[in-house]
Structure 1
Amino acid sequence: MKRFKTVHYTIHSNKIKDARGIRFAVIADLHGMEFGPDNRKLLETIHRYRPDGILIAGDMIVRNDSASLKTASSLLRSLAQQYPVYYALGNHEYKLYRTDPQENCMAARYQEYEKELKTAGIHILHNESCSLQVGKTSLTVYGLEVPLIYYKKPFSPQLKREEIRALIGEPSSDSLNILLAHSPKYGDTYFDWGADLILSGHYHGGIVRLGRHNGLLSPQLHPFPKFCCGDFHRKDQHMLVSAGAGEHTIPVRIHNPRELLMVDLKPNA
């Protein structure tokens, strides 16, 4: 049976109003993978931690593998029976979402997949947001979908704050703003837009530092100077990178990429 590890982060914010705090389980880049029959092991672990919600940062499927849609749908619908689930697309979902289903059978199957998830109550955020209240704390979850050119390898164009505003509008001024953005490459721009917490996947954990004072090397083999796997923060803002469980081959790995993230949001001391 495939294995994964659970990684914990605790983030403090003055926007969290209850001492108990808020817990989210974060999943990305499963690409149709299963941990035990029907993902039983993954589900058991999530249930044990009793999160307040599930955040999906994209690439739950493989765009040319119909079996991956069935596996992902089964897992997400099971989660939706007990938790609110918020889902932002990765590049694999977005490719199918933007393809004419009359010209591509996988795109047609993807439309059915989204319909199944929405019927189950899952919030699929196509450059949209959902507000939720946990205790005394107000949160807004945004799902960012950028055009595929921003996933171009090895180089992609610069993403500007104004482009994010055009896609998802202005951030909320009176809640903690959680941005689900599949690619972590544009972290500074996400923060400039107004995100308090960014959750990403895509790079599958494969980033390495070249020397003490150099930048970082991403799987796409170009300098990536601002953050690595784990917790990148600027002032009181946070970005969590490498929520992933994919099996893609990448040049370097600094840890096992099969991860379930548990993020605890706590008030400032």
Structure 2
Amino acid sequence: MIPIRLFKKKKFLVLSIILLILLVLFSYSQNNWLTTTSITIKSKELPSNFDGYKIVQLSDIHNKTFGKNQKRLVSKVKNEKPDIIFVTGDLIDARKYDEEPSLILMEQLVNIAPTYFVTGNHEWSSGKYESLEAKLLSAGVHVLRNESERLTIEEQKILLLGIDDPYGSESYVDVAITKDSLNPFADEIEQSSYTLLLAHRPELFSTYQEYGIDVTFSGHAHGGQVRLPFVGGLVAPGQGFFPNFTAGKYEENESTLVVSRGLGNSIIPQRIFNLPEVVSITLETE
């Protein structure tokens, strides 16, 4: 017979091993299980030809890979059949710079739909952005650096703006720099029936509203890193603890903000109840 004390020790050891395995599996799944979040945005101002227009947004990749040659992530994007793809900053991580995973991804995205990119803070803090930008342009990515484009469907147009992350400026004062980036487009925004903005930082939503932006697409918050039931995100850069803007759709003063939870990690290496996501947005005429 096995002594009771030895039996209890073995039982404890077996349970500890099982618990450890479950913890490792949980940790891995939280960082690697890809989800798709669907959002619908309705507006009376949206031109009728853009009714049903499909946008896929990706953000904050931070060198992350999802299968060989990004196969799982590319498949998720393809499944949405987007008309356009937005990538809202932080393709790379400045602390462990590796541009290859993101370049492999972007080279495939441009074959799915026109792909637009704006910088995040990590592009600038890496000190290697100029080289990265040249490779993105060579791959066929539309890089918007305080620039605008008109998206057109059968003569109906909407305005697309993309601004640099304010970290790229010598003077790091977020609101002032963001206003400097948007001021040249004030008349263009006013004359446009509908305006989309790509801007990395969601915490500047009130500033975007001042310019009459209809929909802003942001990332940066990493979904709050840890998502708590009935609370939301725990912490986000630029917003601190219990941030206001971490994931999904927000509406204020006739302006909408879409925040991607992102795909990768940076300073905090673990997501909890905050799976990496592809955001699929459908515009509808109300």
Q: The residue matched to 1:191 in structure 2 has which SS?
A: helix
Once the two structures are superposed, residues 247-269 of structure 1 have per-residue CA deviations (whole angstroms, 9 ceiling, x without a partner) of: 2355997742401000000000x
Q: Is the 8 A contact 1:131 1:138 kept in 2?
A: yes
Q: RMSD across aligned C-alpha pairs, in angstroms? A: 3.4
Q: Check whether the contact 1:201–1:244 (CA below 8 A) recurs between aligned residues.
A: yes
Bigger mean CA offset, 85-94 vs 1-10 = 1-10
Q: Aligned partners of 1:216 and 1:111: how far apart in 2?
A: 33
- Given the alignment of the two structures, is residue 244 of structure 1 paired with residue 262 of structure 2, yes or no? yes
Listed one character per residue, the Cα deviations across residues 50-106 of structure 1 (whole Å, up to 9, x for unaligned) are: 10010010001112444x31111111111112311110000011234xx4xxxxxxx
With the length of structure 2 as denominator, give the TM-score of the two structures. Answer: 0.75
Cα distance, 1:50–1:215 mapped onto 2, change above 3 Å: closer
Moved more, 239-248 or 87-96: 239-248
Alignment pair present for 1:37 and 2:53:
no
Correspondence for 1:194 among 209, 212, 226: 212
User: Partner of 1:87 in structure 2?
Assistant: 117
- How many pairs align? 251
Give yes or no for the alignment of 1:260 onto 2:278. Answer: yes
Corresponding position of 1:111: 130
Which of 165, 175, 199 lines up with 2:182 in the alignment?
A: 165
CA distance in 1, matches of 2:76, 2:168: 36
Q: What is the DSSP-based 3-state SS (H/G/I as helix, E as strand, rest coil) of the residue aligned with 1:159?
A: helix
Task: Quote the residue 2:84 is aligned against.
Answer: 53
Tell me by how many angstroms 1:232 deviates: 0.8
The answer to whether structure 1 residue 28 and structure 2 residue 59 are counterparts is: yes
Asked whether the 8 Å contact 1:69–1:113 carries over to 2, the reply is: yes
Kindly provide the amino acid, as one letter, of the partner of residue 126 in structure 1: R
- Structure 1 segments, 4+ long, off by >2 Å, are 63-66, 110-113, 134-137, 160-172, 207-210, 214-229, 247-255
Q: Deviation digits for residues 115-154 of structure 1, max 9, x if unmatched?
A: 222122211111112211135642222111143289x9xx
Q: Report the CA distance shift for 1:226/1:192 in structure 2 as closer, same or farther (over 3 A).
A: farther
Aligned residue in 1 for 2:15: none
* Structure (1 or 2) with the greater helix fraction: 2
Change (3 A) 1:148 1:168: farther
TM-superposed deviation, 1:169: 5.2
| Residue aligning to 1:178 | 196
Q: Does 1:6 align with 2:36?
A: yes
Match of residue 104 from structure 2: 74
| Gapped regions of structure 2 (runs ≥ 5) | 1-27
User: How far did 1:33 drift?
Assistant: 0.8
SS in 2 for 1:140: strand
- Percentage of matched positions with identical amino acids: 29
Amino acid at match of 1:159: V
Q: Residue 90 of structure 2: SS of its match in structure 1?
A: coil
Q: Secondary structure at the match of 1:194?
A: coil
Letter in 2 for 1:189: T
SS at match of 1:18: helix
Separation (CA, whole Å) in 2 of partners of 1:43 and 1:251: 23
Q: TM-score scaled to structure 1, two decimals?
A: 0.79
Determine if contact 2:226/2:274 at 8 Å carries over to the other structure: no
C-alpha distance in structure 2 between counterparts of 1:113 and 1:196, whole Å: 30
Q: What's the counterpart of residue 104 of structure 1?
A: none
Partner of 1:17: 48
* Larger deviation, residues 33-42 vs 251-260: 251-260
1:111 and 1:146 map into 2 onto residues whose CA distance is 14
For 2:155 and 2:258, locate their aligned partners in 1 and report how far apart those are by CA, in whole Å.
24
- 2:64 aligned partner, one-letter code: M
